[in-house]
Amino acid sequence: MSELKNDRYLRALLRQPVDKTPVWMMRQAGRYLPEYRATRAEAGDFMSLCRNAELACEVTLQPLRRYPLDAAILFSDILTVPDAMGLGLYFEQGEGPRFETLCDSKAVIENLPIPDPEGELQYVMNAVRTIRRELKGEVPLIGFSGSPWTLATYMVEGGSSKDFAKIKKMAFAEPQTLHLLLDKLAESVILYLNAQIKAGAQAVQIFDTWGGALSGPAYREFSLQYMHKIVDGLIREYDGRKVPVVLFTKGGGQWLEQIADTGCDAVGCDWTVDMKAARERVGDRVALQGNMDPSWLYAPADKIRGEVSRILAEFGHGNGHVFNLGHGIHQHVDPENAGAFINAVHELSEQYHK
C-alpha cells in the first residue's frame, strides 16, 4: 500500500475521524490562476493541455503549490469520453464545447463505440500516472467523469443548452433511444474510472452537472439509475485501501436520500442545500461534500471566513464532511481569496473534531 502523508480527505469520505475538515475546490486547477493561464497558452488550446501528460500534471499541481489543499484532482474535462467516441469535440471562443456529430438519431447512437481507456483515452491515464508520481504521496489524487445524463446532454444538444429541449424530447418521445445512449455511456464510464483507479486515482467523483434539470421521476430514470450502475461496477478497493466514490448532482438537493441509496461513499451538495438538514436526512450512510456558493470568494476575507464558519456550524461536530464549493470556482476570483477560504476551513474546523 502506498503511504499518504495527508489522507484526511480519504478518511473524511469514509466517515473516519480527522483532525480538521479537509478541503479542496472544484476547478481548483483553472483560469483564476495566472500560472494556469500561462501553461494553457504554452499548450496552445484547452484539449492540447489535457492531452499533454506533463502539462496536465503541471496545472494539477499548481494550486497545491499555492494552498494547503487536502486533495489534487486530475486536470481533464468531462467530455473526454464522448470525444473518444468519435464525435469531434471542439471549443468555440466564448461558446464552450461543441460536437461536430450530434447523437440525434438511433442510427448514430447504435454505431457509437465504447472507448478503450488505454487506447483512445490513454492520454488521460498517462496524466493520472504522471500526476500520481509527482504528488509523491503528499495528498490523494481524485479521478472523475461526467455522469451519463450530463454527457448525453452535450452529445444530443451538440453543446451547452439552456432548456435541454432536444434531449428532453428524446427522453419523453423516444426513451428507448436515450436509454441505449445512456447505457453505452455508463459502460464507458465504468471502464474509464476503473482505468483511472488502476493508473493511480485514489478516489473518484461523478459530476452530474445537469441532473437538476429533470423532474424527480425523470431524474431517477435517466440519471440516477445510470450512476447507480456505475457505482456497482467500480473497483472499490485498490493498492491496499478503499477507493471512495462521490456522486454530485448540481440541483439535486431534493434527492439526497436516493443518491445515498446507490452505495456511493459521499454525496456532493450544491449551495442550495442546508447541511444540517442534509446530515439528518442521510444519517451515517454517506459523507457529505460541500457546499459554499463559489460567489462568496468575491467577498472580503473576513466575510469568506464568516460563511465558512456558518457552514461548519451547520454541519456540526463529527466525521464525514469534506468542505468544498457548491460548484466550480469562478475564473475572476482573486487567488488570495481562495487562500483565505482554504485557511479558514482548516483553522475553524478543528473545534468540530475534538
Which segments are annotated as binding site for substrate? 27-31, 77, 154, 209, 327
Say whether 66 is catalytic: no
How far does CA 198 lie from the centroid of its chain? 18
Annotated catalytic residue within 37, 66, 77, 241: 77
Name the grid cell of 168. 428532453
Say whether 45 is catalytic: no
Q: What's the rounded Cα separation, in Å, for the pair 346 and 354?
A: 14
Q: Which amino acid is at 18?
A: V
Residue whose cell numbers read 471502464: 191
Q: Is 92 exposed, middle or buried (0-12, 13-18, 19+ CB in 10 A)?
A: exposed
Element (H, E) at 72: strand 72-73
Distances (CA, A) of 216 to 64, 175, 180: 38, 16, 21
Annotated catalytic residue within 36, 154, 192, 226: 154
Residue whose C-alpha is closest to residue 117's, from 51, 193, 27, 23: 193
Annotated catalytic residue within 15, 27, 132, 279: 27
Distances (CA, A) of 254 to 220, 278, 328: 12, 9, 20
Say whether 77 is catalytic: yes
Annotated catalytic residue within 40, 241, 281, 285: 40
Say whether 133 is catalytic: no
Q: Which residues are annotated as a binding site?
A: 27-31, 77, 154, 209, 327
Say whether 27 is catalytic: yes
Residue whose C-alpha is closest to residue 227's, from 320, 151, 285, 143: 151
Supply the residues annotated as catalytic. 27, 31, 40, 77, 154
